[in-house]
Amino acid sequence: MSGEYERAFHEAVSNPEKFWGAAATKVRWYRHYDQVLTSDNPPFYRWFEGGMVNSCYNALDYHVEQGLKDRIALIYDSPVTKTVKKFTYGELRDLVARCAGGLQALGVLKGDRVVIYMPMIPEAVIAMLACARIGAIHSVVFGGFASRELATRIEDAKPSLIVSASCGIEVNRIIPYKPLLDAALAQCSHKPSKCIVVQRKEAPVDLVEGRDLSWETLLEAEPVPCVPVNSTDPLYLLYTSGTTGKPKGVLRDNGGHLVALTWSMENIYGVRPGEVFWAASDIGWVVGHSYIVYGPLFYGCTTILYEGKSVGTPDPGAFWRVIAEHGVSVLFCAPTAFRAIRKEDPHGDYIKKYDLSGIRLLFLAGERCDPDTLLWARAQLGVPVIDHWWQTETGWAIGANCAGLEMLPVKPGSCTKPVPGYDISVLDAAGRDAPAGETGNVVVKMPLPPGCFTTLWNNDTDFVKTYFSAYPGYYLTSDAGFIDTDGYLWIMGRTDDIINVAGHRLSTGAMEEVLASHPDVAECAVSGVHDPVKGEVPLGFVVLKAGVITQQDQIESELIAMIRQKIGPIASFKAAAVVKRLPKTRSGKILRGTIKKIADGVPYSVPATIDDPVILDEITGILREMGYPKR
């Protein structure tokens, strides 16, 4: 081992100004910052204050100016439309400049919000970068969310404009987006001045006169140059699940984000400019923001925008085709993608059909990776497989094997070591350091490194309360885990009601709010239970109001439809059980953890505080009848 990781880690903790100041030299500034880190108002730290910068300039124009206009910036690969389209840095810059001109012509100003509700098509990336170009704040809403979720975000972000598309395509199914957008706007008191619609040939739609505008019309505008913004000005707003039905608007700055992501491409992912980097995620999630759009382009790589699933039907080799065809060097995806592939192709027969000699590294994140999946992926691909841990809030990895810096031995199940910049501890409930190997609350000592969220949109109070008040001086990750005797970090699960379904972060609290709104439901609970492909899926338990007589099948299908309609299909809510009572403590707290253990077939002890232990036997019986545990 070279000691490079240890050196970087210690410098980033002991002298963050020096460490991140050096990293900032790789970024193009219009005006040099006055200081690297401003710490006068914790936890509201500011990175590179006084600096003027533009994220779009760093992603596109700079590379074009360096003579790289013909390098491929973006490959759109869409098995669902049987399309592959490549954009050079020059072409992408020109499209973005015209899109930015169109936004400006419609009155979008620096600091205005633009909601982007789109499938995985190039126009989505162009719209994001166009916002960055003029200093507008984009807020991408994942296409699998239903109109109510979209409405909540529109109401909170108050966008001056929305960019959307006529439809999304899910394998063999068209998802009409426009009706979802119209329904969302009907629910909102805030009305954006215009909606831009990309007409897809699979499902063109009628435009609302006076409100809607086609993408082509938008792009008729004159191109505009990048607008210098403050380093601390927001680049984007991304909503993520919180512990209530109301999502949290994570706000990201320009300068810190630019420095951190540029550093991560070289030092975590070990990729080189010009290489093909593929994050098989969706632009609606943070992984898509950081590693489909910004990171690879800041670093001069070629990025892939993939509109499809990890397993095509009938082709379980969908991923291998992309890697071979486009010469992918580094792949980043969620473990669920590999579990799905393994299910269809357990012996890797499809892998052997493709030339995968170009791939060097596979990174996994988004949910806990079971060692079995990691080992299977490693055996099939013959390259190091690195599990790394991060959150929407941080925007980049907190714990990883920093392959570019120094490859450390892999321990399957662990996400290796804290990334330089993150000073991690595991604390017990009393705030004491947990002994090595003992699970506790994973926290990060302030300040968080650059690139992490600067606050919650319009909600400094919740920013402080949710993340910085449990343990003064520390950021609470809401993940439980431990550090072993070698200093390796193991992330075991959430301490709140968030679950990870196929790598997608969802709130069981939000689902409970929907179930509770059913007229026959007296009370309910939702737990995340084990699923062999998606890792976790939600399972509902409902107690019916006195006197209600209904069949289990009837109420279950109504509840499934409600979640699908109000949260979206992405919740993967497919089962609900009617029970006489919910297991509770004597003080009335629902024992969700115990329900989960029963459903997962994990041994459990009857909590001493339970008010009526008999109910656990009833739930066990019901779950057995429903086929749980699903292993």
Does residue 326 touch ligand AMP according to CB under 6 A?
Answer: no
Structure token digits, residue 77 = 């690969």
| Cα separation, 22 vs 450, whole angstroms | 13
Per partner kind, with CB cut-offs from 5 to 8 A, the member of ligand AMP, ligand COA, none near residue 300 is none
For ligand COA, the closer CB: 198 or 570: 570
Measured from the CB atom, the residue of 103 and 397 that comes closer to ligand COA is 397
600 interacts with ligand AMP by CB under 6 A: no
334 binds ligand COA (CB under 6 A): yes
Closer residue to ligand COA, CB minimum distance, 143 or 583: 143
- The item of ligand COA, ligand AMP, none sharing an interface with residue 423, based on CB under 5 to 8 Å by kind, is none
Task: Name, in order, each residue with C-beta under 8 angstroms of 522's C-beta and a sequence gap of 6 or more.
Answer: 542, 543, 544, 545, 546
Nearest CB to ligand AMP, comparing residues 16 and 144? 144
Instruction: Report the partner that residue 148 touches, choosing among ligand AMP, ligand COA, none (CB closer than 5 to 8 A by kind).
Output: none
Among 88, 104, 500, 527, binds ligand AMP (CB under 6 A): 500
- The one segment of 99-107, 328-336, 440-448, 486-494 that binds ligand COA by CB under 6 A: 328-336
Phi and psi for 185 in degrees, rounded to 5?
A: -65, -30
Which entry of ligand COA, ligand AMP, none binds 311, CB below 5 to 8 A by partner kind? ligand COA
318 counts as binding ligand COA under rule CB under 6 A: no
Distance CA 151, CA 246 (A): 11
- 167 makes contact, choosing from ligand AMP, ligand COA, none, with CB < 5 to 8 Å by partner type, with none
Q: Which of 80, 131, 196, 340 binds ligand COA (CB under 6 A)?
A: 340
Task: Give the distance, in angstroms, between the CA of residue 10 and the centroid of all CA atoms in the same chain.
Answer: 28
Q: Is 336 among the residues that bind ligand COA (CB under 6 A)? A: yes
Output DSSP code: residue 473. T
Residue 294 backbone phi and psi in degrees, to 5: -75, -55
Name the one range near ligand COA by CB under 6 A: 48-56, 332-340, 390-398, 518-526. Answer: 332-340
User: Does residue number 170 form part of the binding site for ligand COA (CB under 6 A)?
Assistant: yes
- Distant-in-sequence, close-in-space partners of 207: CB < 8 Å, separation ≥ 6: 197, 213, 214
Cβ proximity to ligand COA: between 48 and 363 the closer is 363
Work out the angle at residue 570's Cα, subtended by the Cα atoms of residues 569 and 571, and round it to the nearest 5 degrees: 90
Specify the 3-state DSSP secondary structure of 384: coil
* CA torsion through residues 164, 170, 171, 174, sign: negative
The answer to whether residue 528 forms part of the interface with ligand COA (CB under 6 A) is no
Choose from ligand COA, ligand AMP, none: what does 368 bind? Cβ within 5-8 Å by kind.
Answer: ligand AMP
Residue positions counted in the chain: 631
Q: Given the DSSP bridges, would you call strands 194-198 and 212-214 parallel, antiparallel or unpaired?
A: parallel
Which partner in ligand COA, ligand AMP, none is near 240 (CB below 5 to 8 A by kind)? ligand AMP
Closest approach of ligand COA to the CB of residue 36, in Å:
30
DSSP 3-state of 525: strand
Distance CA 159, CA 174 (A): 27
Figure out which of the listed residues 233, 307, 387, 536 binds ligand AMP, where binding follows CB under 6 A.
387
389 binds, among ligand COA, ligand AMP, none (CB under 5 to 8 A by kind): ligand AMP
Q: Which is nearer to ligand COA, 482 or 573 (CB)?
A: 573
Q: Does 168 bind ligand COA (CB under 6 A)?
A: yes
Q: Name which position in 242, 366, 420, 568 contacts ligand AMP (CB under 6 A).
A: 366
Contacts of 13 (CB under 8 A, 6+ apart): 420, 421, 423
Q: Which does 391 bind (CB under 5 to 8 A by kind): ligand AMP, ligand COA, none?
A: ligand AMP
Phi, psi of 625 (to 5 degrees): -60, -30
Touching ligand AMP, residues 388-447 (CB under 6 A): 388-392, 415
Task: Output 336 or 391, the one with its CB closest to ligand AMP.
Answer: 391
Both structure tokens of 612 = 């009526």
For position 494 contacting ligand AMP by CB under 6 A, the verdict is yes
Which is nearest to 332 in space by CA: 270, 263, 408?
270
Q: Which one among 55, 302, 572, 594 touches ligand COA, defined by CB under 6 A? A: 572
**Contact between 337 and ligand COA per CB under 6 A:** yes
Phi, psi of 65 (to 5 degrees): -65, -25
Which one among 196, 301, 502, 529 touches ligand COA, defined by CB under 6 A? 502
Q: Restricting to residues 269-298, which ones interact with ligand AMP according to CB under 6 A?
A: 286
Q: Is 61 in the site for ligand AMP (CB under 6 A)?
A: no
Q: Which of ligand COA, ligand AMP, none sits in contact with 340, Cβ below 5 to 8 A by type?
A: ligand COA
479 binds, among ligand COA, ligand AMP, none (CB under 5 to 8 A by kind): ligand AMP
- List, in sequence order, the alpha helices (H) in 210-368: 215-218, 255-267, 286-288, 295-298, 318-326, 335-344
Q: Does 421 bind ligand COA (CB under 6 A)?
A: no
Distance CA 228, CA 52 (A): 6
- What is each CA distance from 58 to 104, 121, 300, in whole angstroms? 20, 22, 9
Which residue, among 369, 360, 359, has the nearest Cα to 338 in the 3D structure?
369
In angstroms, give the least distance from the CB of 489 to ligand AMP.
Answer: 9
Alpha helix segments (H runs only) across 208-283: 215-218, 255-267
- Helices 4-14 and 16-23 pack at an angle, to 10 degrees, of 120
Residue 157 Rama label (left phi>0; alpha psi -120 to 50; beta): alpha
Identify the residue among 224, 323, 351, 365 touching ligand AMP (CB under 6 A). 365
CB of 285 to ligand COA, least distance (A): 5
Strands (E) in 347-466, as ranges, are 361-364, 385-387, 399-400, 417-418, 424-427, 440-445, 455-456
CB atoms under 10 Å from CB of 278, counted, come to 27
Where along the sequence are the contacts to ligand AMP (CB under 6 A)? Answer: 240, 286, 365-369, 387-392, 415, 479, 491, 494, 500, 505
Where along the sequence are the contacts to ligand COA (CB under 6 A)? Answer: 119, 143-144, 168, 170, 175, 280-281, 285, 287, 309-311, 333-334, 336-337, 340, 366, 502-503, 533, 569-570, 572
